[in-house]
Amino acid sequence: MRLGLGLSLPSKSKNRPLPLMAAPAVLSDLTSNKGLWMDDMSIITSSSSGDNADAYSVYVTNMPSSAETGRIYIAVEVTANTTFNNDVCIGAVQIASNNGTTLDQNFRMEDDGNTWQYASANTAGNDTISEISGYLWQNIANSNTTGRFNRNSGTGSSHTGAQGGLNLASDYNIFSENSLSSGNNNAVLAQAHWTNYIYSETSSQSRNAVIWARSPEFTLDDPDTGAKLVVAYHACTPSGGTGMVNTSSEHLMTLFWVES
């Protein structure tokens, strides 16, 4: 083949197929020692004395493409000056595979909250996976015991917590049914009064204590298919400077994926 200026293309280069490019691996802060800080959480401010009835917000992030078998960990830091105003509620945690279209794992805390576990300690500053390597774990109980995650339909603390959890069908895909985007999605799911959630009970705890929970171990049905981690949460606190905050130095809630 003759090119301009007297140049020609070597015959062996003709019709040579282009090399196939491997799909890039999906990297995620979920697998790092420090986890993925939910930096844009929705925090409800309330002036009512009891638990709050506002809708649950939903946080979405990509699962690492390497994820197969492991656990989800959740860390809640006590950032409120009045520490009992720091009860963060989790209504559901899901993993939706095939770019979010297929419900792969579904933890509805009304039904599955007792399969999750709480940590034996909540030491201030222990907010990385390496720092909790010696913690012991027990299944979350129907209780309001301070310093750990509990399952309940109310927190018993003023100006914080939800009045109820979520009433979701077993095949309800939070991500696809609500056309969610990555990051924080504000006020997505209405509460179901008197249904259960799991929550961090922080009464009488020190500021910057870290309350931990983790899922049961599970294996993804469809790994490496663009899976989404979906967390439905409720964070309510009083106005006036005594409630929970979420800043670069005080991470209210952090998510982790730990491969087995």
Residue 4, token pair as written in the block: 């301009």
**Please, what is the Cα angle at 103 between 100 and 108, to 5 degrees?**
120
Dihedral of the alpha carbons of 76, 79, 85, 89, in degrees to the nearest 10: -20
Classify residue 206 by its DSSP letter: P
- Alpha-carbon distances, residue 15 vs 10, 132, 223, 235 (angstroms): 11, 57, 36, 60
Q: What is the pLDDT of residues 109-128, one digit of tens each?
A: 999 999 999 999 999 999 99
Extract the residue ranges of the chain whose pLDDT is less than 70.
1-27
How many angstroms separate the Cα of 204 from the Cα of each of 48, 81, 87, 119?
Answer: 21, 11, 12, 17
Alpha-carbon distance of 104 to 116, in angstroms, equals 17
Q: What is the mean pLDDT of the chain?
A: 91
Residue-wise pLDDT for 196-235, tens only, equals 999 999 999 999 999 999 999 999 999 989 999 999 999 9
pTM for this prediction: 0.89
Q: What is the pLDDT of residue 147?
A: 97
